[in-house]
Structure 1
Amino acid sequence: MSSRALARFLAHGAGAASAVILLALVAAALSAPLVAEAMGHDPFVPDLFNRFRPPSATHPLGTDELGRDVLLRLLYGARVSLAVGLAAALASAAIGLAIGLAAAWFGGLVDAVLMRLADGLLALPALPLLIVLAAVDPAQLGLPRDVAALDLLRIVVIIAIFGWVKVARITRGAALAILRMDYVRAALALGASAPRLLWRHVAPNLAAHVAVATTLTIGNVILVESVLSFLGLGIQPPTPSWGNMLANAQELVFAAPMAAVWPGLAIFVTVVATNFAGDALADALDPRAVVRRG
């Protein structure tokens, strides 16, 4: 990001504040093992003698139904939820970028087939299909059960299969405009190969569009992961995620309402922050946005 774009981003108050919040969340998630060591608690080991403890110096946010520290569970859940959001958004962006470039470059039948595929995925009810795919038993595919890394990878793959459409359509539209520019035609006249042309001349000029779409996708992915985990089809306990923390707390809303409030608040803040940051990034990378705002 250039200095001018950075200045425009920082001038967007809500976007800049959201970026600070997201950086703080990432830093807190990365420091979860250090925090657990400093507090002397293991967020994965039940302590039934300390169930539903109120907030205290020992447990700043209290304990859950199994006596585990809620703050540490939130931090470890942030590691999973943020990792899923970022990985699935990047995977969707990579797939969408490749399909969008292929559609713009080849045109004709290839363009028609790829865009009709994108239209078909847009027409499908995404959430029910995601639920059906997430409900597939890994053991039926020859994969081991109860492996956290496989749960995470499975959710990322499922979301990426349906999440590339927006980036592909944006990429195709922008690439078609770029391919008509004089410097691209000059590169073709000089004998530049298709891979070199797309990689060196077209893709860098799509970076702003793809970055904005990817940023906005992260919040949606976190919501989808939370829904799947809430339904018991996402990240499986004892690995914490914000979604399965909500699922565990749904029967304790009246007995221990804060057990549901904290993960719900974390999801809300993260999704809102990513949306504001994406809006600010769109304005920062588009100089005309300054004129429109003015």
Structure 2
Amino acid sequence: MSDSTSKPQQQSDYPQVERLLKIMQKLRDPEQGCPWDKQQSFSSIVPYTIEEAYEVADAIENGNMQDVQDELGDLLFQVVFYAQLGKEQEAFDFEAIAKVISDKLVRRHPHVFATQQNISSEQVSLNWEAIKRQERAQKGEDAQASVLANIPVSMSPLMRAHKIQKACAKVGFDWPEVGPVLDKVQEEVSEVMEELEQEPKNQQRIEEEVGDLLFAVVNLARHLDVNAETALRKANKKFAGRFEKVEQHFAKQNTKLSDTTLSQMESIWLQVKRLESESTQS
């Protein structure tokens, strides 16, 4: 007979989370685990994490909630993978990760979890930065460190440019109006043109000037409240969609693109743009 005094096993509020953690543990099992998963390390799965984050963004942009759910699952798996690696090294586990972010969110939202003050979103942002400075001081980080010190170098270049500019703006190093920002973009275009006119051409200098131009365009996007990364992703998608229609046009004529001229492709491209415009207006 079973012990009548024993307590019934408590059921988890999140059984699928526990299931996922156990699956991850099984995949990493030294004897019965997956050969590929067993070979991975923190650094080796970073590219997959970045890729999954972009796929989440793409699914959200496409507006298919089933795809969003699927891609969020893939991204969650990345976190679970890191948690398992941390657990194996006795550094942290999934529960510790959840605790750290929960503590941080409560700490950085005193207007919600403590004082319940009715404050503006601007004041929330200021408080957030002040609390972050306090946290860095408690960790013993240099209070005189650069305002750019905590911007990850491995971040995508467009996003990092935005972060750098935003950080500088917070300490007053920024134009208050968009006019000078546009002037700077035009100045950088002129400097690219000047380099192209030099003989012999210096490819390193051309690259540098193009980089300055891209940085200036990101700054323009920021001043216009446009996320450069999102804007470029949408532009890529729009261009790819139009080019595929150009391909389809010539495919229907059994003509290879390599056998067409630039002017022929350009003509169809303009037709595609016109049809898109008419479709949008109708």
Q: Same fold (TM over 0.5)?
A: no
TM-score (norm 1): 0.23
Structure with bigger RCO (C-alpha 8 Å, 6+ apart): 1
Larger Rg: 2
Structure (1 or 2) with the greater helix fraction = 1
TM-score (norm 2): 0.24
